[in-house]
A = this chain, B = another copy of it.
Amino acid sequence: MLRMTKQRAIILEELRKARTHPTADEIYSRVRLRLPRISLGTVYRNLDTLSKAGLIARLQCGGVAKRYDGCIESHCHVRCEVCGRVEDMDIAPSADLERNLSDKTSYRITGHRIEFTGVCPECDNAVASPNYGKGG
Protein backbone atom coordinates (compact mmCIF):
# COMPACT_ATOMS: atom_id res chain seq x y z
CA MET A 1 0.00 0.00 0.00
CA LEU A 2 1.14 3.50 -0.82
CA ARG A 3 1.32 5.60 2.32
CA MET A 4 0.90 9.29 2.18
CA THR A 5 3.61 10.66 4.37
CA LYS A 6 4.25 14.33 4.95
CA GLN A 7 7.37 14.15 2.78
CA ARG A 8 5.60 12.44 -0.07
CA ALA A 9 2.66 14.81 0.02
CA ILE A 10 4.88 17.88 -0.03
CA ILE A 11 7.05 16.55 -2.82
CA LEU A 12 3.94 15.91 -4.88
CA GLU A 13 2.53 19.32 -4.02
CA GLU A 14 5.72 21.16 -4.90
CA LEU A 15 6.09 19.25 -8.11
CA ARG A 16 2.52 20.01 -9.11
CA LYS A 17 2.80 23.67 -8.48
CA ALA A 18 6.10 23.99 -10.32
CA ARG A 19 5.68 25.45 -13.80
CA THR A 20 9.16 24.25 -14.73
CA HIS A 21 10.08 20.59 -14.78
CA PRO A 22 12.42 20.44 -11.88
CA THR A 23 15.28 18.02 -11.34
CA ALA A 24 15.41 15.94 -8.17
CA ASP A 25 17.83 18.43 -6.71
CA GLU A 26 15.60 21.39 -7.45
CA ILE A 27 12.68 19.61 -5.85
CA TYR A 28 14.89 18.89 -2.88
CA SER A 29 15.64 22.61 -2.43
CA ARG A 30 12.01 23.59 -2.63
CA VAL A 31 10.81 20.88 -0.30
CA ARG A 32 13.55 21.65 2.17
CA LEU A 33 12.11 25.11 2.71
CA ARG A 34 9.11 23.41 4.25
CA LEU A 35 10.77 20.28 5.59
CA PRO A 36 14.31 21.26 6.49
CA ARG A 37 15.31 17.78 7.70
CA ILE A 38 14.28 15.85 4.59
CA SER A 39 17.05 13.97 2.84
CA LEU A 40 17.92 13.82 -0.83
CA GLY A 41 17.55 10.05 -0.73
CA THR A 42 13.95 10.42 0.36
CA VAL A 43 13.29 12.76 -2.52
CA TYR A 44 14.71 10.28 -5.00
CA ARG A 45 12.83 7.38 -3.48
CA ASN A 46 9.59 9.29 -3.56
CA LEU A 47 10.03 10.47 -7.11
CA ASP A 48 10.53 6.86 -8.03
CA THR A 49 7.54 5.67 -6.04
CA LEU A 50 5.28 8.42 -7.33
CA SER A 51 6.19 7.88 -10.93
CA LYS A 52 5.70 4.13 -10.61
CA ALA A 53 2.33 4.84 -9.09
CA GLY A 54 1.52 6.98 -12.11
CA LEU A 55 1.07 10.15 -10.10
CA ILE A 56 3.93 11.99 -11.74
CA ALA A 57 5.99 11.58 -14.89
CA ARG A 58 9.67 11.39 -15.66
CA LEU A 59 10.95 13.34 -18.62
CA GLN A 60 14.15 11.42 -18.97
CA CYS A 61 15.17 10.02 -22.33
CA GLY A 62 16.11 6.38 -22.30
CA GLY A 63 19.05 5.26 -20.27
CA VAL A 64 21.67 7.09 -18.31
CA ALA A 65 24.69 7.06 -20.56
CA LYS A 66 24.90 9.30 -23.58
CA ARG A 67 25.04 7.64 -26.96
CA TYR A 68 26.98 8.67 -30.01
CA ASP A 69 26.30 8.48 -33.69
CA GLY A 70 28.81 8.41 -36.51
CA CYS A 71 26.15 9.69 -38.88
CA ILE A 72 25.46 13.39 -38.60
CA GLU A 73 22.59 13.70 -41.06
CA SER A 74 19.40 14.32 -39.19
CA HIS A 75 17.20 11.30 -38.81
CA CYS A 76 14.97 9.74 -36.19
CA HIS A 77 15.77 7.01 -33.73
CA VAL A 78 13.96 4.07 -32.24
CA ARG A 79 14.92 2.94 -28.79
CA CYS A 80 14.16 -0.58 -27.62
CA GLU A 81 12.34 -0.41 -24.30
CA VAL A 82 13.67 -3.79 -23.28
CA CYS A 83 17.37 -3.81 -24.09
CA GLY A 84 17.90 -0.09 -24.55
CA ARG A 85 19.62 -0.23 -27.93
CA VAL A 86 19.04 2.59 -30.34
CA GLU A 87 18.74 2.35 -34.09
CA ASP A 88 18.24 4.72 -36.96
CA MET A 89 14.94 5.24 -38.67
CA ASP A 90 14.77 6.21 -42.23
CA ILE A 91 12.60 9.27 -41.81
CA ALA A 92 13.83 12.80 -41.62
CA PRO A 93 12.26 15.04 -38.99
CA SER A 94 9.68 17.16 -40.82
CA ALA A 95 10.11 20.89 -40.89
CA ASP A 96 6.32 21.24 -40.87
CA LEU A 97 6.25 20.35 -37.25
CA GLU A 98 8.02 23.57 -36.39
CA ARG A 99 5.68 25.85 -38.30
CA ASN A 100 2.76 27.66 -36.69
CA LEU A 101 3.90 27.06 -33.18
CA SER A 102 3.77 30.69 -32.13
CA ASP A 103 0.39 30.24 -30.50
CA LYS A 104 1.63 27.25 -28.56
CA THR A 105 4.78 28.66 -27.04
CA SER A 106 6.66 31.84 -26.35
CA TYR A 107 9.96 30.17 -27.22
CA ARG A 108 11.82 30.85 -30.41
CA ILE A 109 11.85 27.32 -31.83
CA THR A 110 15.08 26.16 -33.40
CA GLY A 111 14.55 22.45 -33.86
CA HIS A 112 12.99 19.28 -32.64
CA ARG A 113 13.75 15.68 -32.06
CA ILE A 114 11.52 12.68 -32.35
CA GLU A 115 12.38 9.46 -30.67
CA PHE A 116 10.24 6.42 -31.15
CA THR A 117 10.05 3.74 -28.52
CA GLY A 118 9.35 0.14 -29.22
CA VAL A 119 10.61 -3.38 -28.93
CA CYS A 120 13.36 -4.68 -31.17
CA PRO A 121 12.89 -7.96 -33.06
CA GLU A 122 15.22 -9.90 -30.79
CA CYS A 123 13.53 -8.82 -27.60
CA ASP A 124 10.15 -9.37 -29.16
CA ASN A 125 11.09 -12.93 -30.09
CA ALA A 126 12.44 -13.57 -26.63
CA VAL A 127 9.11 -12.63 -25.12
CA ALA A 128 7.09 -14.58 -27.68
CA SER A 129 9.26 -17.70 -27.39
CA PRO A 130 7.75 -20.77 -25.67
CA ASN A 131 10.66 -20.88 -23.24
CA TYR A 132 10.18 -17.36 -21.98
CA GLY A 133 9.87 -17.27 -18.23
CA LYS A 134 10.60 -20.96 -17.81
CA GLY A 135 14.25 -20.59 -16.90
CA GLY A 136 15.38 -21.05 -13.30
Query: Interface residues, chain A, CB within 8 Å of chain B?
Result: 12, 15-25, 27, 47, 51, 54-62, 65-72, 77-78, 80-81, 85-87, 89-91, 97-98, 101, 104-121, 124
Q: Give the distance to chain B from A133, nearest Cβ to Cβ, in Å.
A: 19
Least distance between A93 CB and chain B CB atoms (Å): 9
Closest to A93 in B: B114
Complex-state Cα separation, A6 to B132, whole angstroms: 45
If over half of A's interface residues share one DSSP class (helix, strand or loop), that class is named, otherwise mixed; here it is: mixed
User: How many copies of this chain sit in the oligomeric assembly?
Assistant: 2
Q: Are A113 and B119 in contact (CB under 8 A)?
A: no
Whole-angstrom distance between the Cβ of A39 and the nearest chain B Cβ: 17
Residue numbers in B under 8 Å from A110 (CB-CB):
81, 117-119
Q: Considering the complex, give the chain B residue whose CB is closest to the CB of A27.
A: B68
Instruction: Name the contact of A24 in the complex, choosing from B12, B68, B111 (C-beta under 8 A).
Output: B68
| Whole-angstrom CA separation of A118 from B102 in the bound complex | 12
Give the distance in Å from the alpha carbon of A23 to the alpha carbon of B89 in the complex: 19
For residue A94, give the distance in angstroms from its CB to the closest CB of chain B. 10
